[in-house]
Amino acid sequence: MIVGTLLVRGVIRSSHSLKEKRRVVKGLKERLQHRFNLSVAEVDEQDSWQQAVLGMAAVGNDAPFVRSLLDQAAQYARGAVEFEVVDVYMETFGVGEE
């Protein structure tokens, strides 16, 4: 079993309130969950108007597949209009990892 995690830190420059930020974050989370079948949560900066940190997780039996899936999710987040990615951190671990 391989577990992969992805941490994406971003800025929402157009946000002027927590309500606006939550709208952007919620939409991005839902798109990532449905498109890539990932677990996605806002894991830090919950009280900041313009910063958000999303944590994602994937489980599989093939390390290259899990890494590829998380890479695709990171690229998708980079393409989001209102969410400017400033940092990405990925880690995979588990039995059978190359």
Query: Which 3-state string (H, E, C) describes 51-64?
Result: EEEEEEEEEECCHH
Complete edge-to-edge strand list for the sheet that includes strand 39-44: 39-44, 51-60, 2-11, 84-94
Q: Could you tell me what percent of the chain has a pLDDT over 90?
A: 71
Mean pLDDT of 72-94: 92
pLDDT score recorded for residue 98: 54
Encoded tokens for 57: 């997780």
Mean pLDDT of 14-39: 92
Give the three-class secondary structure for 96. Answer: coil
Question: Is residue 45 very low, low, confident or very high in pLDDT (cuts 50, 70, 90)?
Answer: confident
Domains of the chain (ranges; CATH) run 2-94 (3.30.70.1120)
Contact (CB, 8 A) for 83 and 50:
no
Encoded tokens for 78: 């980079």
d(CA 80, CA 78): 6
Distance of CA 45 to the CA centre of its chain: 14
How does the average pLDDT of the chain come out, rounded? Answer: 91
Mean pLDDT of 32-61: 92
Question: Does residue 94 come out as left (phi exceeding 0), alpha (psi in the -120 to 50 range) or beta?
Answer: left
